[in-house]
Structure 1
Amino acid sequence: MALSTFDRGVWRSTKRLYSLARRVRFAFTRTQRATPETIGQVDRILLIRTDKIGDAIISTAFFKALRDHFPNAQIDIVLGRKNAAAASLLPHLDGVFIARKNLIEQARLIRQLRERNYDVVIDMLTGDSMTAAAYAVLAGARLKIGFDDDGTGLYDVPVPRAREPEHQAVQMLRLIAPLKLMLEPEDIHPAIVFSQSAARAVRERLFPEEKDERKLIVVNLSVDPARYWDDEKFIRLVSDLKSPSVRVVLISAPWDLARLEAIGKASEAEWLPPSADISETVATVSCADLVISPDTSIVHIAAARGKPVVALMPNTTIKEWYPFGVPHRALHCATRVADIPYDEVLAAVRELLAGLDSAQPVPSTDKVVS
């Protein structure tokens, strides 16, 4: 979440004071700011990613790059309350810590981090976050890397943000460049893992007897209510997509069960009981031939599983959060998700469905609709 004007002012003042304190310390102790060249061997790395599930998932290519470059290093991560559920999905990591809002818990976590004597800490948040920066600074690592346009001295290696909107997965490449890791955008392939028990349980529910030859479209309904697509549009979409060759299955978050049941009943569609286990959601998406979702967490889960996606997105997020590396249609409206026209969504789904059977898949597009 973006900082308010007041919080941003406080944050900038805090960074300046911290920078001044560092300069004074360096002057009196005659020490130099750490650099990737001066810290020597890297055995312990800490990552800070205390934002949302989708952020963590699109960072998995970043995790792999670190693991490939530092195969024997201990690589830990601090997640937040909003993306803690994704911990089991993230490969290439050794330890996971969860940041809490309680001050006592925060102090305990900082002590745990300092005890581990990290060589490098990387604050992966692209936006301003006082909490993430505090963990990065207070963890006590010898080298601190993070996004900082001001160059105020909060990090040993301040990384400037992209001048133009850029996908979050690509922005991560800026953070590993100081460690001499060179990747191109085409090298980025987000990937997640999930339990085989979840995979078996979901397949038994979806395919109780034998393999269904129909194309399977998984439609996620749940998202922040402010970003709902109208129930009537979902009902119509499901009804229009179902055919002898296309099967539609609805999913939702547990808190959206009543809505799931209502839309399922009105459209005469199949739906799966919501699960609090994110592995089951991933397993369901993994069975799909195509995914439709207004929620970017599901969008990024689908992309990480290599599934074509129709994403219904707010206009402000499209260039940073579109489904990365898979055939997709990202539809966004200048006003709100609810105003995305039905016909545009239906056309997008049909175009991607046609691409499934084509030797030449339809190119991905990001489209503003009104």
Structure 2
Amino acid sequence: MSLKQNLRELNWKRNFADKRLKLRIKFLLFYLIKLFLPCKTNECDLSKVKKILIIRNDHLGDMVVTTGLIRNLAKSGYQLYVVSTKSALDIVKFNPYVTGTIIYDDSTFLNWIKSIARIRKESFDAAIEMKFIRFFDMKNMIFCSYVKTPILIGFNKSDIQSFNLSICNYPHANHVTEQLKQVLELFNIAYDDMHYELPISESIKTKANLFLKEITANNKKVVVLNPFGSSVARLLSNKQVHIICNLLSAKYKTIVIGEENRSKQLSLPESVAVFNSASILDVVPLIELSDLVISVDTSIVHIATCFNKNTIAFYADSDPNQPANDKKSVYHYKFSIFKAALEDYFNNKEYLKTHSPNRMLPITHDIWAPNNKNAKQILFDQGNMSNVDDEIFKNKLVQSLKTID
């Protein structure tokens, strides 16, 4: 091993040690905060529950997949309320199974305090915190603890005194719908196929129909392309967008969706149309009326699943349990294991004392897979989608298109 390699490895070891120390200090602070959280009694009579709060303080795609749970609970006679971010609540804006919604906003400390004040104006017979991925969010934990309810249900929360019902769940590769079924089983509900649904207004449908009439011609099929993900790592490059458009130009009219300012940064072919939307709901009828959906963003993939659309979904290969090929990846894997262990024991120590669940790191591309028989999932090894080799990208896309066309 060269001097340069030795120095690099020493630097990785030092960074690894620094990260471990900082994380230990962070969780020590969390432990102190946890001592002061409100405590629930262990008595839980689910037979008396009528009014339920679904706590879904995360992203659009998470809300889409939760619509199956909401429907099954409501059809069993429960009154459903949902708390989430403003954008995610758009997903259930016209959902007939939702009685009411409350906005959660933790963008600033003041907004977070206001969110707690808002939720405390209501009381519920039970509240269900839906996050089951092993990622710890202290602000969300405190928020949940102050919901007015005698029964607070969560995943892997046996060591959090504010929760008095904990559902054991250490998903390695099971799809998200399998985790949602555990909630229904807790309430002894016989569930359906857990399909997603996204009701919208007639005015939104009309807008999409008018747009399609204006831009479609020559009996071409319509493809909806979303090249923008929720993070920089999930953005397609301009070259990749051109590869997609060129491959589709003979058979399809391509419509790019996404934030207007992002779309303007792409140098798109003249034949490509851009659909500007004020809300995620605006693209729903567009997806429903399309012949094909191509996306790097899982929320769009899940919306396409609502209609069993032909879909090509680009995912990063997120299996953290694969053997690492280099020392840097080894240290990253070790840190991920260390972090997961701290989170597991912080949340669920009481359960882990007496049980030995499979605590492998979750494979998120399996957990959040399209769940659609007409979808093709393309996995890439690179962390940043835009760094995928153009030829590899093109070849995988061509193979997927052959199975659809």
Structure 1 length normalisation: TM-score?
Answer: 0.80
Tell me: CA distance 1:88–1:18, structure 2 relative to 1, closer, same or farther (3 Å): same
Question: Could you tell me how far 1:255 is from its partner in structure 2?
Answer: 2.5
Structure-1 separation of matches of 2:171 and 2:255: 41
Question: Could you tell me how far 1:194 is from its partner in structure 2?
Answer: 1.5
Structure-1 separation of matches of 2:215 and 2:103: 41
Question: Could you tell me how far 1:328 is from its partner in structure 2?
Answer: 1.1
Equivalent position of 1:320 in the other structure:
367
Of 394, 401, 404, which aligns to 1:342?
A: 394
2:91 counterpart letter in structure 1: A
Question: Could you tell me how far 1:275 is from its partner in structure 2?
Answer: 1.4
Question: Could you tell me how far 1:47 is from its partner in structure 2?
Answer: 1.0
Tell me if structure 2 keeps the 8 A contact 1:18–1:153.
no
Tell me if structure 2 keeps the 8 A contact 1:292–1:310.
yes
Tell me if structure 2 keeps the 8 A contact 1:49–1:132.
no
Structure-1 separation of matches of 2:46 and 2:178: 26
Structure-2 separation of matches of 1:314 and 1:298: 16
Tell me if structure 1 keeps the 8 A contact 2:152–2:163.
yes
Question: Could you tell me how far 1:159 is from its partner in structure 2?
Answer: 0.8
Secondary structure (helix, strand or coil) at the match of 1:341 reads helix
Of 301, 321, 331, which aligns to 2:378?
A: 331
Tell me if structure 2 keeps the 8 A contact 1:311–1:329.
yes
2:302 counterpart letter in structure 1: H
Equivalent position of 2:223 in the other structure:
217
Is 1:231 the counterpart of 2:233? The answer is: no
Is 1:258 the counterpart of 2:264? The answer is: yes
Equivalent position of 2:105 in the other structure:
100
Tell me if structure 2 keeps the 8 A contact 1:146–1:175.
no
Tell me if structure 2 keeps the 8 A contact 1:309–1:328.
yes
1:330 counterpart letter in structure 2: Q
Secondary structure (helix, strand or coil) at the match of 1:272 reads strand
Equivalent position of 1:42 in the other structure:
49
- The answer to which structure, 1 or 2, has the higher relative contact order (CA under 8 A, 6+ apart) is 2
Is 1:351 the counterpart of 2:403? The answer is: yes
Secondary structure (helix, strand or coil) at the match of 2:286 reads helix
Equivalent position of 2:125 in the other structure:
119
Aligned residues: 329
1:95 counterpart letter in structure 2: G
Tell me: CA distance 1:302–1:210, structure 2 relative to 1, closer, same or farther (3 Å): closer
Structure-1 separation of matches of 2:215 and 2:161: 62
Equivalent position of 1:246 in the other structure:
252
Question: Could you tell me how far 1:303 is from its partner in structure 2?
Answer: 1.1
Structure-2 separation of matches of 1:150 and 1:282: 39
**Structure 1: stretches of 5+ with no match in the other structure:** 27-31, 354-370
Structure-1 separation of matches of 2:157 and 2:151: 18
Question: Could you tell me how far 1:329 is from its partner in structure 2?
Answer: 1.1
Equivalent position of 2:359 in the other structure:
none
Tell me: CA distance 1:183–1:40, structure 2 relative to 1, closer, same or farther (3 Å): closer
Equivalent position of 2:327 in the other structure:
none
Of 303, 315, 320, which aligns to 1:301?
A: 303
Secondary structure (helix, strand or coil) at the match of 1:207 reads helix
Question: Could you tell me how far 1:183 is from its partner in structure 2?
Answer: 3.5
Structure-1 separation of matches of 2:147 and 2:287: 37
- RMSD value, Cα: 2.7
Structure-1 separation of matches of 2:277 and 2:171: 40
Equivalent position of 1:5 in the other structure:
23
Structure-1 separation of matches of 2:159 and 2:186: 15
Tell me: CA distance 1:135–1:74, structure 2 relative to 1, closer, same or farther (3 Å): farther
Equivalent position of 2:189 in the other structure:
181
Structure 2 length normalisation: TM-score?
Answer: 0.73
Question: Could you tell me how far 1:79 is from its partner in structure 2?
Answer: 0.5
Is 1:129 the counterpart of 2:176? The answer is: no
Tell me: CA distance 1:220–1:108, structure 2 relative to 1, closer, same or farther (3 Å): closer
Structure-2 separation of matches of 1:304 and 1:83: 16
Question: Could you tell me how far 1:165 is from its partner in structure 2?
Answer: 2.2
Tell me: CA distance 1:135–1:82, structure 2 relative to 1, closer, same or farther (3 Å): same
Tell me if structure 2 keeps the 8 A contact 1:147–1:160.
yes
Is 1:283 the counterpart of 2:285? The answer is: yes
1:341 counterpart letter in structure 2: F
Tell me if structure 1 keeps the 8 A contact 2:82–2:100.
yes
Structure-1 separation of matches of 2:159 and 2:271: 54
Tell me: CA distance 1:145–1:350, structure 2 relative to 1, closer, same or farther (3 Å): same
Secondary structure (helix, strand or coil) at the match of 1:59 reads helix
1:331 counterpart letter in structure 2: I
Q: Deviations over 1:338-370 (max 9, x none)?
A: 3162110122123123xxxxxxxxxxxxxxxxx
Question: Could you tell me how far 1:240 is from its partner in structure 2?
Answer: 1.9
Q: Deviations over 1:259-303 (max 9, x none)?
A: 34x12x2xx333133112222111211111110001111111111
Tell me if structure 1 keeps the 8 A contact 2:256–2:275.
no
Tell me: CA distance 1:166–1:352, structure 2 relative to 1, closer, same or farther (3 Å): same
Structure-2 separation of matches of 1:323 and 1:200: 27
Question: Could you tell me how far 1:54 is from its partner in structure 2?
Answer: 0.5
Q: Deviations over 1:78-123 (max 9, x none)?
A: 1025634434265521111111224444444434433422100000
Matches within 5 A, 1:24-173: 33-35=42-44, 38-70=45-77, 73-80=78-85, 83-88=88-93, 90-101=95-106, 102-127=108-133, 128-148=136-156, 150-173=158-181
Question: Could you tell me how far 1:129 is from its partner in structure 2?
Answer: 2.5
Tell me: CA distance 1:318–1:110, structure 2 relative to 1, closer, same or farther (3 Å): same
Q: Deviations over 1:197-255 (max 9, x none)?
A: 11111111112499974322111122233222222122122112222x43322222222
